[in-house]
Structure 1
Amino acid sequence: MTSGMAEDHRKPPMRDLLADAAFELFEEKGFEQTTVDDIVARAGVGRRSFFRYFPSKEDVVFPDHERCLDDMVAFLKTAADGTDLVEHACEATLLVARMYAERPERSLMRYRHIRDVPALRDHEHIVIRRYEHALAAFLREGFAFRPDGPLHAEIIAAAASAAHNHAVRTWLRNGATTDAVAAARTALASVRAAWGAPPTPAEPDDYVVVITRSRAPLQDVLHHVEHALARIAPADDAE
């Protein structure tokens, strides 16, 4: 009995079991030739189990995205007062890159099938839009004080999504052999630079302007400068 419990504990979660079976079949038969019945037969479960986790065959190609979206929304909610909203949104976007990098082989398989199957490309657009919508909702709330806040939020969310997607797709086209997260971070740097909070400027130096006659003796000019400095010194001390 103890041994049986250990074996059950080692079984992958049902979602992963179904996804693994689906990807095996997609590689063997192709996406369009694989049916839900094929997937559940390979996984050794019933049809009801499949539809409990995936609304359609297309959804099983994106098994990790629901969790990743939940993680993104949870991370966005951790923003505190004074947080650079654009920086925070970019860090949230990196969660998606990490999800791709966790299983590069599956990411490559998904990329190949999306490239070849129009229905999967359409489904991917829906998935991407959900991430972008989460970013825009966070930024709209943060920029609510601006008259152009909603527009500003949509532009930045779209830019972050585009930068991330470009980096990840380049990573996939190159065989997923490099660091996907580093590539995405580099791409998102352009979004940070364009719309992030500017660096805090250093305290400016104080200047004193003295107007005097061009032929005034140097001693008189120095006297005027000393007098001007004495007038602003109390204000500096008060600070």
Structure 2
Amino acid sequence: MAITQQQSGQLSTFSSLRRVYPFVQGALPLLFVGIFVSLAAVATALTIPFALRWLVDNPLSTGDVAQIVPGVAVIFGLGMAEVIFIYLRRWITLAPGVHLEGKMRNAIYVHLQKLPVSFHDKWQSGQLLSRAMGDISTVRRWISFALVQLVTSTIMLVAGFTLLFAFNAVLGAIFLICSLPLIIISLRFQRTFTTLARNSQDQQGDLATAIEESVHGIRVLKS
């Protein structure tokens, strides 16, 4: 029987994050540094349009060739700085996620050792293996990348819309209206993806159970 059928209810997002907090607590300083570096990348990316605006309004419009090369060099430097910041963000946030994954797997193993035999008779071993491997890997990827990206993307959207409205209110309003269908489609996709991901996890657990039972059966027959 799938895990979703055995659980009495699902935890809320806040409750789930609260349970993960003890494992990620030691990695928070590096995560904050990763978020800061990612914000620096966002700030650099938002600076590039200003440099392009200056390049178009001044050297290109006046035909001053002497200023074109420095302007292009500045834009190139900003692009390289953004790439470096993105690389540093991934490098900084990778280690905390790996350590988090290791601590959670050790905690699950210790907890399983303390459970009575009746629990293991009730639950499929493949489901436990899928949760201990696949689900924790998902948590690690979310902490290392998705959490940082969520914070920086939110700030980038707010800053981007603010700058766009500051440049031209009509253009900002048009862009906002055109974004509404994308927002609605994304929300609908999120609900569909949640259901499909849950079913996929259950199917992976069932598959792992079938493979493990087949392997044990082959070993028994060979014995």
Pairwise TM-score range, normalised by the shorter structure: 0.3 to 0.5
- TM-score, reference length from structure 2: 0.34
Question: Larger Cα Rg: Structure 1 or Structure 2?
Answer: 1
Higher helix proportion: 2
Q: Which structure ranks higher in relative contact order (CA pairs < 8 Å, sequence separation ≥ 6)?
A: 2
- TM-score, reference length from structure 1: 0.32
